[in-house]
């Protein structure tokens, strides 16, 4: 699935499409830069999604507190259950480096897209 195909699928979900970066999230991204945010996304994906078994799966990603967390919920990359449901990523196996990179790329594409949306 391409990033654009994922965005189209996610847009049909009332739950997923309600997530947006707040103005403070956007300011955080602009202050720290996209390279730093990508490094954070890589770290979160590696530590919170990549292991084969996650003791608190389904609860490991806060709903807010960092732009990547918001992106994870918006993109259905918040837990292994959502990755399985939305992207058919098998449960019980560690994510490959390629899978982790694709998740990070999706999260970053969503964040970059959100930077240009004006919040009312």
What sign does the dihedral 119-82-103-46 (CA atoms) show? positive
Q: What is the pLDDT of residues 62-82, one digit of tens each?
A: 888 899 999 999 999 999 999
pTM for the complete prediction? Answer: 0.92
Total Cβ atoms within 10 A of residue 1: 13
User: What confidence score (pLDDT) does residue 8 get?
Assistant: 96
User: What confidence score (pLDDT) does residue 55 get?
Assistant: 85
Crossing angle of helices 23-32 and 34-48, in 10° steps, is: 110
Closest CA relative to residue 96, chosen from 59, 45, 56: 45
Rg of the chain, C-alpha, whole Å: 13
- Please, what is the average pLDDT of the chain? 94
Q: What is the pLDDT of residues 96-118, one digit of tens each?
A: 999 999 999 999 999 999 998 76
């Amino acid at each position: 699935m391409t990033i654009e195909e994922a965005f189209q699928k996610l847009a049909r979900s009332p739950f997923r499409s309600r997530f947006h970066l707040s103005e403070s999230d956007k300011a955080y991204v602009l202050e720290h830069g996209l390279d730093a945010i990508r490094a954070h996304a890589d770290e979160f994906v590696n530590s919170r999604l990549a292991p084969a078994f996650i003791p608190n799966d389904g609860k490991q990603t806060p709903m807010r507190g960092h732009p990547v967390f918001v992106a994870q919920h918006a993109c259905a990359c918040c837990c292994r259950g959502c990755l399985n449901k939305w992207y058919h990523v098998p449960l019980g196996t560690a994510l490959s480096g390629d899978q982790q990179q694709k998740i990070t790329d999706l999260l970053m594409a969503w964040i970059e897209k959100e930077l240009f949306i004006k919040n009312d």
